[in-house]
């Protein structure tokens, strides 16, 4: 896992708040997820602890980064996610992170990556917040036994993620022990205020 990491770790080690591990969408960078988590905590006295990662590959000419090539096959997509997972698990095995509650949060490609991380490491993450994730190639998939809690959200007008992929994401995550799903009217492939509020409620109930 190459590239830049945006870090904020201010909480105490004992009784620490969740550590957020954040993954942006295609064509963006680590600041995308920082803006989202800052919005979730806006108006509170808390400062979230996070590692926000920049995608493995940079986009030539147009800027931004990605975790796997747009339009790539299922095998390549899963292989790239596995490589990120191997690097991530080595990083968070450090003593400063080892006993923290770990919450994945990702948008679009980053949402799919977060799902694959739980699938490969079912006992490592306490929760996964999947915002408009791509889910191509996961038809008929099931999650392994895991205590990870899932939050899944899409906009009702999201044409970037095919409807069948959205339906399949719900079906796959319904096999988990703890799953909530939200759909936001009139929202496209984006983030809305109600979604931010729902994420805040989900985190407060972890």
Please say whether the beta carbons of 149 and 178 come within 8 A: yes
Band of the pLDDT at 9, cuts 50, 70, 90? confident
| Whole-number Å distance between alpha carbons of 153 and 48 | 21
Nearest partner of 8 among 24, 25, 20, judged by Cα:
20
- Average pLDDT of span 154-180: 95
The CATH number of the domain covering residues in 5-204 = 3.40.50.1820
Nearest partner of 152 among 179, 134, 120, 125, judged by Cα:
179
| Whole-number Å distance between alpha carbons of 79 and 62 | 25
SS3 17: coil
- Which tens digits make up the pLDDT trace of 123-149? 999 999 999 998 988 888 888 889 999
Alpha helices in the chain (DSSP H): 31-41, 74-92, 95-98, 109-120, 163-173, 193-204
Strand order in the sheet with 102-107: 5-8, 49-53, 19-23, 102-107, 127-131, 149-155, 178-184
Enter the pTM of the model: 0.94
- Which tens digits make up the pLDDT trace of 68-118? 988 888 899 999 999 999 999 999 999 889 889 999 999 999 999 999 999
What single DSSP character describes residue 28? Answer: B
Query: β-strand 102-107 against 19-23: which pairing, if any?
Result: parallel
pLDDT of residue 10: 65
| Whole-number Å distance between alpha carbons of 204 and 87 | 29
SS3 151: strand
* Cα dihedral 116, 84, 72, 6 in deg (nearest 10): 100
Band of the pLDDT at 177, cuts 50, 70, 90? confident
pLDDT of residue 14: 52
Encoding tokens for residue 146?
A: 């895991």
* pLDDT score of 11 more than 60: no
pLDDT of residue 3: 55
Band of the pLDDT at 173, cuts 50, 70, 90? very high
Please say whether the beta carbons of 96 and 105 come within 8 A: no
Please say whether the beta carbons of 171 and 163 come within 8 A: no
Longest dimension (CA), the chain: 46
Q: Which residues pair with 180 in a beta bridge?
A: 151
């Amino acid at each position: 896992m190459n590239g830049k990491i945006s870090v904020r770790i201010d909480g105490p080690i004992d009784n620490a708040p969740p550590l957020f591990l954040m993954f942006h969408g295609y064509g963006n960078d680590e600041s995308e997820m920082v803006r989202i988590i800052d919005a979730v905590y806006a108006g509170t006295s808390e400062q979230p602890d996070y590692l926000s990662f920049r995608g493995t590959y940079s986009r030539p000419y147009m800027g931004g980064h990605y975790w796997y090539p747009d339009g790539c096959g299922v095998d390549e997509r899963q292989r790239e996610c596995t490589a990120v997972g191997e690097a991530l698990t080595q990083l968070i095995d450090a003593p400063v992170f080892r006993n923290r509650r770990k919450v994945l949060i990702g948008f679009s490609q980053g949402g799919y990556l977060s799902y694959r991380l739980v699938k490969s490491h079912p006992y490592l993450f306490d929760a996964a917040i999947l915002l408009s994730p791509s889910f191509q190639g996961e038809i008929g998939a099931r999650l392994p036994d895991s205590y990870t809690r899932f939050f899944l959200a899409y906009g009702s007008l999201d044409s970037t993620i095919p409807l069948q992929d959205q339906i399949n994401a719900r079906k796959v995550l319904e096999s988990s022990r703890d799953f909530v799903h939200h759909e936001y009217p009139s929202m496209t492939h984006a983030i809305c205020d109600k979604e931010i509020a729902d994420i805040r409620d989900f985190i407060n109930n972890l």
